[in-house]
Copies of this chain bind each other. A is one copy, B any other.
């Protein structure tokens, strides 16, 4: 079936299918052959659209980053912006945990990741943070979000009561964590994000100046 009239592949289809494969089977099991098979073509066809496997991974990572809304930076109070960004960033990454190790290596040359960094940093500096502190805040937020998306805390404990009973006296209920996986992980993230914003608010008042009380909802207008 050489040279069909209508191209079978497109960068978009390849990226979508690659993301689904990585979600299902993990980064280690992801290969160009398996990706091609899932697309109904042979391996070498992919190289008409991407030069290397790594370019495909970059495209997958950036398509996920591109789903994160950062348009409100500079529009709403920085505390509210961090809150919205944090939740949105985590939601996008937690839907694709297997690619987080790749994505967490930094923006590199990926456009969506650079645009996100630009919006966050610009918004924080505009809010009064020093360049150095704005960098730190962007970094520590990425730490927290990528760490929370990298692996579920609750599912990290095996469901085997006997494992804990003897040697780990405080973990006697740990085997039940998996039942409540989503609630535990989201609750922990929410608690941490609010604590971070609260703590940073005090840092702001010490270094920059008094903060206005947050409006009940929405923008600064």
Interface residues of A (CB under 8 A from B): 100-101, 104-109, 111, 114-115, 117-119, 121-122, 125, 131-133, 135-140, 142-148, 150-158, 163-164, 167-171, 173-174, 177, 184-185, 187-189, 191-192, 194-200, 202-203
How many angstroms between the C-alpha atoms of A200 and B193 in the bound complex? Answer: 10
How many angstroms between the C-alpha atoms of A153 and B163 in the bound complex? Answer: 37
Given contacts A139-B184, A139-B188, contact A156 B106 (CB under 8 A): yes
How many angstroms between the C-alpha atoms of A104 and B93 in the bound complex? Answer: 15
How many angstroms between the C-alpha atoms of A144 and B199 in the bound complex? Answer: 15
Query: Chain A binding site: helix, strand, loop or mixed by DSSP?
Result: helix
Q: How far is the CB of A127 from chain B (nearest CB, A)?
A: 12
How many angstroms between the C-alpha atoms of A151 and B148 in the bound complex? Answer: 14
A168–B203 CB distance below 8 A = no
Q: How far is the CB of A179 from chain B (nearest CB, A)?
A: 13
Chain B contacts for A170, CB-based, 8 A: 118-119, 121-122, 125
A143–B139 CB distance below 8 A = no
